[in-house]
């Protein structure tokens, strides 16, 4: 590897020359092409497995949606309250970029049963099983880029300076007036060029997989989401490039450089995320499903039990209703009093559930905030958070689905209560029915993806963590004027 003589700091021409020489050095190595081939095989496997899984799950979901709709419309003439207890289902479609980053969708439910008097929304496993930030995750393109690509950078770059020292070119370059800063940035640029095919290969596979997904094609923000993911990946990969060159420059042997870098990778991608998950769960514990449901039921009964004719709240409610209509008996009301009671009970249970669900969501957000702070130590957490947020597969998107499903449940149950109130007489209530055709008036649940702006709200700390990790090694390289061989 020969460089033109240079004086001072060498300038951009020398940096480019060093970068080209570094790139040619990588391209001449058989190990580089072997590594690229293995990486390509891993990308194809991850992309294919996720796409096949997503196509299968989407087909199954569509089949079940059609079945549920047919069963709903196929109900015979029925009492509206029986229909409310018959219930229906809400289905969460995959996120716009779930083929790239499945996020929490592999660990959280996509289907909710919706019925009267009961919210089946607290279907959350323990925090360590729910959040994608709490585990390395399944094999996906996001996993490959977040976890495997940094290892490739380490393998390619750990010998960057060691080769120069062992071959004697280090002193030769210094004698030609090439400063340590110029050499470092030339090496960094060359390593970046050598890493680019790996990154572009994976991003190309991600676009190919996502481009065939109806959710991606139907989302007007799909390209913006892709750009956000690409920016986060570029910062994360850039951080490892700078760190690798810096560690290599400070190490006397390739073995020491590699050991240091792999140790940092293990800390950032494995140890710190798991420790942070344990700490988050300990500081902000989540209730299990049965405990959450029991708490909601107990709190609802404290407000009033619509099925108990002697309940104090509903005794006052009955008196207020009779006074409002100016009658002395419920039989004299112009509407069905039983339906009014059911509607009031549904209102109380929905309010109680909303309070408890908001507290549950706040606990999860507190766990996520702790992980965001841990991202300052482990940039892996930052890129994972940004990737799943932009892909529409993170915890926030899951909570949004839960809230939308509950809003739909409350709306369709109260609509049935209105039919009960207005079209079923109080006398001989249970023996009356509505025509089966009325059930076709109820629309299906349609989940809406969380808008990108809302999905990225509160991710400033994750961006800051990536920017710091990308900038600090470069700043350290720029400050050093001399290297000791």
Domain ranges of the chain: 11-479
Which residues are CB-contacts of 194 (< 8 A; sequence separation ≥ 6)? Answer: 22, 23, 26, 27, 32, 156
Residue the block writes with tokens 């669900």 = 357
Residue-wise pLDDT tens for the chain (485 aa)?
444 444 444 456 888 888 898 899 889 989 899 999 999 999 998 888 888 888 888 888 889 999 999 999 999 999 999 999 888 898 888 777 888 888 887 777 788 888 888 877 534 333 333 333 334 456 888 999 999 999 999 999 988 877 777 777 767 776 677 777 888 888 899 999 999 999 999 888 888 877 777 777 777 888 899 999 999 999 999 999 999 999 988 887 888 889 999 999 999 999 999 999 999 999 999 888 788 888 888 888 887 777 777 788 888 888 999 999 999 988 888 999 989 999 998 998 888 888 988 898 899 889 888 998 999 999 999 999 999 999 988 888 888 888 899 999 999 999 999 999 999 898 888 889 999 999 999 999 988 878 899 999 989 999 999 999 999 999 988 876 555 54
- What was the pLDDT predicted at 9? 46
Which of the 8 DSSP states describes residue 252?
S
- Helix (H/G/I), strand (E/B), else coil: 19: helix
Contact 186, 15 (CB under 8 A): yes
Which of the 8 DSSP states describes residue 96?
T
Q: Which two tokens stand for residue 223?
A: 């390209």
Query: CA–CA separation, 313 vs 122, rounded Å?
Result: 27
Which of the 8 DSSP states describes residue 451?
P
Q: Is the dihedral of CA 156, 270, 41, 50 positive or negative?
A: negative
Contact 158, 258 (CB under 8 A): yes
Q: Which two tokens stand for residue 226?
A: 């892709």
Query: CA–CA separation, 172 vs 165, rounded Å?
Result: 10
Which of 470, 477, 471 lies closest to 234, judged by CA? 470
Which of 431, 484, 485, 482 lies closest to 181, judged by CA? 482
Query: CA–CA separation, 452 vs 101, rounded Å?
Result: 15
| Residue 73 CB neighbours (<10 A) | 12
Residue 115's φ and ψ, nearest 5 degrees, are -150, 170
Where helices occur in 267-391 by DSSP H, the ranges are: 272-283, 289-303, 312-325, 337-374, 379-391
- What was the pLDDT predicted at 252? 78
Query: CA–CA separation, 77 vs 5, rounded Å?
Result: 92
Q: Which two tokens stand for residue 432?
A: 């009356």
Q: What is the CA radius of gyration of the chain?
A: 30
- What was the pLDDT predicted at 190? 93
Buried b / exposed e over 149-185, threshold 16 CB at 10 Å, is bbbbbbbbbbbbbbbbbeeebbeebbeeebbbbbbbb
Residues in the chain, total:
485
Which of the 8 DSSP states describes residue 456?
T
Query: CA–CA separation, 433 vs 423, rounded Å?
Result: 9
Which residues are CB-contacts of 480 (< 8 A; sequence separation ≥ 6)? Answer: 180, 181, 184, 249
Query: CA–CA separation, 378 vs 264, rounded Å?
Result: 9
**How far apart, in Å, do the first and last CA atoms of the chain sit?**
18
- What was the pLDDT predicted at 483? 52
Task: Give the HSE-up count for residue 459: Cα atoms under 13 Å, Cβ half-sphere.
Answer: 26
pTM: 0.84
- What was the pLDDT predicted at 56? 84
Query: CA–CA separation, 445 vs 69, rounded Å?
Result: 10
Which of 201, 140, 141, 137 lies closest to 381, judged by CA? 137
């Amino acid at each position: 590897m020969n460089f033109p003589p240079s004086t001072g700091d060498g300038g951009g021409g020398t940096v480019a020359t060093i970068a080209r020489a570094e790139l040619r050095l990588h391209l001449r190595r058989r190990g580089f092409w072997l590594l690229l081939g293995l990486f390509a095989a891993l990308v194809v496997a991850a992309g294919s497995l996720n796409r096949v899984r997503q196509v299968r799950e989407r087909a199954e979901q569509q089949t079940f949606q059609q079945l549920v709709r047919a069963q709903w419309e196929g109900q015979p003439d029925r009492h509206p309250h029986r229909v409310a207890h018959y219930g229906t289902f809400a289905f969460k479609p995959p996120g716009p970029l779930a083929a790239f980053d499945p996020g929490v969708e592999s660990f959280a439910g996509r289907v909710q049963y919706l019925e009267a008097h009961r919210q089946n929304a607290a279907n959350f496993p323990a925090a360590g099983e729910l959040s994608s930030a709490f585990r390395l995750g399944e094999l996906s393109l996001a996993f490959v880029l977040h976890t495997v690509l940094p290892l490739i950078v380490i393998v390619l770059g750990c010998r960057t300076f060691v080769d120069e020292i062992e071959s004697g070119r280090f002193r030769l370059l210094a004698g030609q007036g090439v400063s340590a800063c110029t050499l470092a940035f030339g090496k960094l640029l060359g390593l970046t060029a050598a890493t680019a095919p790996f990154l572009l290969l994976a991003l190309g596979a991600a676009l190919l997989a996502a481009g065939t997904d109806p959710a991606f094609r139907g989302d007007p923000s799909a390209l913006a989401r892709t750009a956000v993911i690409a920016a986060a990946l570029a910062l994360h990969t850039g951080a490892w490039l700078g760190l690798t060159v810096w560690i290599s420059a400070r190490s006397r042997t390739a073995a020491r450089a590699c050991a240091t870098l792999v140790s940092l990778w293990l800390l950032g991608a494995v140890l710190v995320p798991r420790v942070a998950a344990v700490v988050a769960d300990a500081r902000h514990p989540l209730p299990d499903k049965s405990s959450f449901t029991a708490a909601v039921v107990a709190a609802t009964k404290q407000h009033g039990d619509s099925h108990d004719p002697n309940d104090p709240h509903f005794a006052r409610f009955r008196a207020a209703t009779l006074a409002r209509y100016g009658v002395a008996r419920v039989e004299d009301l112009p509407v069905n009093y039983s339906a009014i009671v059911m509607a009031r009970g549904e209102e109380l249970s929905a309010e109680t559930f909303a309070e408890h669900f908001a507290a549950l969501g706040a606990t999860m957000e507190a766990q996520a905030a702790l992980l965001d702070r841990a991202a300052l130590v482990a940039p892996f957490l930052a890129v994972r958070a940004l990737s799943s947020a932009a892909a529409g597969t993170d915890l926030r998107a899951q909570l949004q689905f839960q809230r939308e499903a509950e809003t739909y449940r409350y709306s369709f149950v109260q609509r049935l209560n209105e039919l009960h109130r207005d079209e079923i007489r109080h006398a001989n209530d249970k023996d009356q029915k509505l025509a089966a055709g009325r059930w076709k008036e109820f629309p299906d649940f349609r989940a809406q993806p969380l808008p990108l702006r809302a999905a990225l709200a509160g991710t400033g700390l994750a961006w800051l963590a990536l920017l710091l990790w990308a900038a600090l090694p470069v700043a350290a390289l720029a400050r050093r004027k001399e290297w000791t061989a």
